[in-house]
Structure 1
Amino acid sequence: MASVFSKIIAGELPGRFVWQDPEVVAFLTIAPVAQGHTLVVPRAEVDRWTDLEPALLTRLNEVAQAVGKAVIQGFGASRAGYLIAGFEVPHTHIHVFPANDMSGFDLTVADPDTPAEESDAAADTLRRTLRDLGYGEFVPEG
């Protein structure tokens, strides 16, 4: 059975994509800990990050770093949070989010009721910032 992330990647479920390349995508989570909270996900369905091929893990981290730079710049954060948990969805994903303190590292504070307008605006900010940072070839249109 396909994971919910595979369904988002395939276009069967909606997603606010900010990055797409042949191996990796990034889209906003539906339950952010901060505006701009993004999931960096391999297209390949691999449950545990420890089971990824080393080259794919490297690519995931390259994309997470680019998204991290964008969340810092786009949202004025002092740092980009980075977290791998993997209990919510059995498909490897890296959480990248604006961080000014440790609160975002507690996923139990995520807000599943974030208004769609806020999520749309956050996705637009990330896309624009990623383009400004020179990653335009990987940034889809809104």
Structure 2
Amino acid sequence: MSSIFTKIISGEIPSYKVAEDENFLAFLDVKPIAKGHTLVIPKKEVDLIFDLENEYFKDLWGFAQNVAKKLAKAYPEQRIASAVVGLEVPHAHIHLIPINKMEDMNFKNVRLKLTDSEYQEIRDSIRNA
């Protein structure tokens, strides 16, 4: 099932890519609840994360772990939380979010409004971590 993530994968919609390989993509959330809020997705179109084949599922989490380690280096004063919610976009995805306390992960929090240069700076700091 095609979604906005399909368009990001194909390059139809631009994104701030943090990491990518032949199967997975990590990019900054355009409506982040914290600086560094990153989405990790499979390039395969699957709505529910638990519908992924076993090995592909494991590989997705391995890819997410590598991205989380970069986030941890870019945001050393924070913990990197992960969440799978699956309601926003019908495409499996993992949220990686730098947090200081549980309330920082509340998806009802006001979303940050960042400039293009702020997104680029965040993306670069994660990539270079």
Instruction: State TM-score, norm by structure 1.
Output: 0.85
Asked if 1:78 is matched to 2:78, the reply is: yes
Letter in 1 for 2:127: R
Residue matched to 1:21: 21
Larger displacement relative to structure 2 (77-86 or 101-110): 101-110
Assess if the C-alpha contact under 8 Å between 2:48 and 2:92 holds in 1. Answer: yes
Distance 1:84 1:110, change over 3 A: farther
> In structure 1, what is the Cα distance between the partners aligned to 2:5 and 2:43?
9
Equivalent in the alignment of 2:63: 63
**Which consecutive residues of structure 2, in runs of 5 or more, have no partner in the other structure?**
none
Q: Distance in 2 between matches of 1:48 and 1:128?
A: 31
- Residue 112 of structure 1, CA deviation: 5.2
Contact (CA 8 Å) 1:71, 1:77: kept in 2 or not?
Answer: no
1:47 matched residue in structure 2: 47
Indicate conservation of the 8 Å contact 2:97/2:105, yes or no.
Answer: no
Measured after TM superposition, the shift of residue 41 of structure 1 is 0.2
> TM-score, normalized by length of structure 2?
0.93
Q: Is the 8 A contact 1:81 1:104 kept in 2?
A: no
Could you tell me how far apart the structure 1 residues matched to 2:58 and 2:45 are?
16
Is the Cα contact below 8 Å between 1:83 and 1:95 reproduced in 2? yes
* RMSD, matched Cα: 1.3
Q: Which runs of 4+ in 1 moved over 4 A?
A: none
1:95–1:110 CA distance, 2 compared to 1 (3 A): farther
Q: CA deviation at 1:116?
A: 2.0
Whole-Å separation in 2 of the counterparts to 1:110 and 1:28: 17
List alignment gaps of at least 5 residues for structure 1.
130-142
Size of the alignment, in residue pairs? Answer: 129
